A and B are shown apart, each in its own frame.
Chain A
Amino acid sequence: MAFLTDRKRATGWGAAKSGTEHFWAMKKSSVALLILIPFFVFTFGGILGSSFEEVQAYYARPFPAIIAALTLIVGFKHFNDGFQVLVEDYVHGIWEKILILGMTCISYGAAAVGVFAIAKMAL
């Protein structure tokens, strides 16, 4: 057993068998967001309130556009993983499935809309 890592020993246990993967996915996205969020707050926050032309010009620049796109992709994935845990804790039965499926559609949909909008301004 000494050759196995703690994570390897935990993987595949529990009722759903996938809890370790879920935990690890949220840990990865949380560390990514730790880097992305400060950049996003001060790029998006800086341009919010500007005119249409200024916003167009700003998101035509690579750095703000890439930061915003990455933050939306990783952020909505992290949100969806976290919302799933919230629902699993408090809602059971058919509504548990409906809420998880519905919020997954909203999360991926919103991330896709945001990335599309940024790409349209950037290109």
Chain B
Amino acid sequence: MPDVNRGNRPLSPFMIGPYYRPQLTSVTSILTRITGNALIVAALMIVWWLLAASTGPEYFAFANGFVTSWFGDLVMFLSVWALWYHTLAGIRHLIWDNAKMLEIDKAEMLGWMVIIGSGVLTVFSVVVLW
């Protein structure tokens, strides 16, 4: 196929930019990807904390001091929200994968459920674990 146009084809416009207004469905979808990938920070901190706990008291004191510092607390708090958000958004995807609730009003209702539900679960977790 020598005459096939490779690399110079028009692309459909990216979702972020002048072509689309932000919508509840697109914003909640972007947040799903951001929360999922951002959880690597807390995940690596937890692995480090576990390694320190299995190593000895001195190293544990160092790692535990960092993970439970104000910075560590902030990362963990944001990560609890990210984890619940990503979990609820994941349930939404499992529903959509079965071609259910794809109508705009139902899809937007699921979006609000993910936003409100993640907030409620975060507050619940913090209250229980404080």
Asked if B22 CB lies within 8 Å of chain A CBs, one says no
Give the number of A-B contacts (CB < 8 Å).
88
Query: How many residues on chain A are close to B (CB under 8 Å)?
Result: 35
Q: Which of B76-104 contact A (CB under 8 A)?
A: 76, 80, 83, 87, 90-91, 93-94, 97
Q: Which of B41-97 contact A (CB under 8 A)?
A: 43-44, 46-47, 49-51, 53-55, 57, 60-61, 64, 67-68, 76, 80, 83, 87, 90-91, 93-94, 97
Given contacts A42-B128, A59-B53, contact A79 B80 (CB under 8 A): no
Are B46 and A44 touching (Cβ within 8 A)?
yes
In whole angstroms, what is the CA distance A27 to B125 when docked? 25
Asked if A121 CB lies within 8 Å of chain B CBs, one says yes
In whole angstroms, what is the CA distance A112 to B60 when docked? 19
The 8 closest A-B pairs by CB, nearest first: A117-B54, A117-B50, A45-B129, A120-B54, A114-B47, A117-B51, A52-B57, A52-B60
